[in-house]
């Protein structure tokens, strides 16, 4: 069911098999919704590119918003950035980064992927550790959908995932594609 959860239960008290099932049941709807919305947006971008008439004010605002999100210079660059990797990769990354939903960042901030925060204006959580004398913070999201959407945006805009995006154009095998995510986390 297309449900967006904004709070999570305590998975740590569940038996492992039940924890795994509940975790997947909790996040898969949001993964599928994000993929659906990005695919629709990419289709709309491709239609706008193909049109030979003037672009409406509404479409211009839509395009400019995506150009800012994906940090590109032109509309023509957007379709290759608006990627939707196989759901299995997203689920596996969420499992690894959140410890099957038991991490503090996930429980307190809906942060499935350990996304850092670099701005004091963002909702965020203070991490226990610092790096090179600087305090680390992670993003706090209003719901699981927002965490997953941010993950997709990260894969779509950062230079570190350029090869991953290129591989997605010709490859669908998740076992091959994950090799391109070796720079995701420590």
- Higher-confidence residue: 2 or 17? 17
To the nearest 10°, report the CA torsion of 183, 16, 147, 35.
90
46-75: average pLDDT: 94
User: Measured between alpha carbons, how far is 149 from 3 in angstroms, rounded to an integer?
Assistant: 15
The C-alpha atoms of residue 123 and residue 142 are separated, in whole angstroms, by: 9
What are the C-alpha distances in Å from 99 to residues 10, 16, 58, 105, 114? 12, 11, 42, 10, 11
**pLDDT of 186 strictly over 60:** no
Q: Check whether 185 has a pLDDT greater than 70.
A: no
Give residue 54's pLDDT band: very low, low, confident or very high (50, 70, 90): confident
Q: What pLDDT score was predicted for residue 8? A: 82
Q: What angle do CA 158, 159, 162 make, to 5 degrees?
A: 100
Alpha carbons 81 and 161: distance in angstroms, whole number: 10
* CA–CA distance, 68 with 73 (Å, rounded to integer): 9
Q: Residue 63, SS3? A: helix
Q: Which of 10-14, 41-45, 61-65 has the lowest mean pLDDT?
A: 10-14
Query: What's the predicted TM-score (pTM) here?
Result: 0.91
Q: What is the pLDDT of residues 112-135, one digit of tens each?
A: 999 999 988 999 999 988 888 889
Instruction: Give which of 3, 24, 150, 26 is closest to 95, Cα–Cα.
Output: 24
């Amino acid at each position: 069911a297309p449900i967006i959860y904004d709070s999570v239960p305590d998975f740590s008290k569940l038996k492992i098999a039940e924890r795994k099932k509940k975790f997947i049941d909790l996040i898969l709807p949001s993964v599928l919704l994000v993929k659906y919305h990005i695919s629709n947006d990419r289709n709309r971008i491709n239609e706008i590119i193909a049109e030979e008439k003037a672009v409406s004010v509404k479409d211009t605002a839509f395009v400019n918003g995506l150009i800012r999100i994906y940090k590109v210079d032109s509309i023509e660059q957007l379709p290759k950035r608006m990627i939707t990797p196989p759901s299995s990769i997203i689920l596996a990354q969420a499992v690894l980064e959140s410890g099957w939903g038991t991490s503090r960042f996930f429980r307190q901030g809906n942060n499935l992927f350990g996304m850092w925060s670099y701005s004091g204006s963002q909702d965020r959580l203070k991490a226990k550790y610092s790096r090179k004398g600087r305090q680390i913070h992670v993003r706090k999201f209003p719901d699981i959908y927002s965490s997953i959407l941010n993950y997709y945006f990260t894969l779509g805009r950062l230079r570190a995932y350029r090869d991953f995006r290129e591989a997605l154009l010709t490859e669908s095998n998740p076992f091959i594609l994950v090799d391109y995510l070796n720079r995701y986390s420590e």
